[in-house]
Amino acid sequence: MRRRSLVLLLAAVALVAGCRRGEPPVAEVRVTPATLTLPYPELRELELELVPRVEREALGEQPVVFVHLLDEPGSVVRTFDYPLPADWRPGEPRRDRVRLLQSALAPPLPEGSYELTVGLYDAASGARFPLAGGHREVDRYEYAVARVEVPASPGPLPHCEYSPEWREVEGSPDRQILTSRWLGAQSGRLRVAQLAAGGFVYAQLYVPPGPEPGGRFVVLPGEHGPVVTLRSTCGPEELVISGAGRQWLEWQVPAGLTSCDFDLEANLLFAGERGEQRRSVRLELLAWQPPPGGR
């Protein structure tokens, strides 16, 4: 009797799985290019096109496009996920530029060939949605769309130098932001060196929204919220970040410059109850993109 119940249960599970496999695709996906090279510590872009077949409301409360980099055994070694944009209308293609990178804050990936996969899921429920496009399905509603080649790292490589105000690198189990580094004061300097070919420097900076448990959060008088000012020897322009959250930053490096200095100044500071663990902003990602034909 117990054996028969187990057989019936397995049959029911298989039936449900079969029904879910028969779900119609919510969108068609296309990715270009189909192959690319990702040296360390560099950034590359690809175009991800989705052609919606359903209304956005059918995708749950928090739809997210996931982009995973898999090694040969199939383990996820990097992620490049992003929230599904609001302008999602059936029949109207939307194209996003997805940034793939090896951050200079993290160790380089081993040399070899990797697989890039794409999917769509609801972050609130964890439900994934089927996509069309003729791509091979490597996992449930996860599709192989491109190959990424990671070459051996030639030297000398672009690298970072930090002023004493920066705290030590902190690791994370997150595959999108593997490591990060807090600025332990309201101002500090970052130098990116070995940029003989020019190109662009990209960074992701996190500005905390307010107080955290067990400490105090200070914003300088006269300001209504967090403000971070950045100045660089790469150019005369000054970047000003207003408000909290994650910000992508980009600087063009003039040809012939071998290094760029970046001075950060924040109007905020978080400190523990006894003044320990002082920090202001967090550097989460840092990469370089050479000019076309420059490398």
Each residue's pLDDT, cut to its tens digit, for the chain (295 residues) gives 444 444 344 433 333 343 345 799 999 999 999 999 999 999 999 999 999 999 999 999 999 999 999 999 999 999 999 999 999 999 999 999 999 999 999 999 999 999 999 999 999 999 999 999 999 999 999 999 999 999 998 778 888 999 999 999 999 989 999 999 999 999 999 999 988 778 899 999 999 886 666 556 676 655 678 899 999 998 878 999 998 899 999 999 888 888 899 999 998 888 766 655 788 999 999 999 988 766 5
Query: Is 159-289 a CATH 2.60.120 domain?
Result: yes
DSSP-assigned letter for residue 166 = B
Q: Which amino acid is at 283?
A: L
Output the pLDDT for position 10: 40
Torsion sign over Cα 218, 220, 223, 226: negative
Output the pLDDT for position 22: 73
Do the Cβ atoms of 86 and 62 come closer than 8 Å? no
Output the pLDDT for position 268: 86
Output the pLDDT for position 294: 61
Q: What is the pTM of this model?
A: 0.86
Output the pLDDT for position 9: 41
CA–CA gap between residue 104 and residue 160 (Å, rounded):
7
Thinking of the domain 25-150, which architecture would CATH place it in? Sandwich (2.60)
| Phi, psi at 56, each rounded to 5° | -60, -35
Q: Where are the domains of the chain?
A: 25-150, 159-289
CA–CA gap between residue 137 and residue 114 (Å, rounded):
15
CA-to-CA separations, 59 to 23, 120, 136, 142, 197, in angstroms, rounded: 13, 9, 22, 16, 44
Cβ-based neighbour number of residue 266 at 10 Å: 24
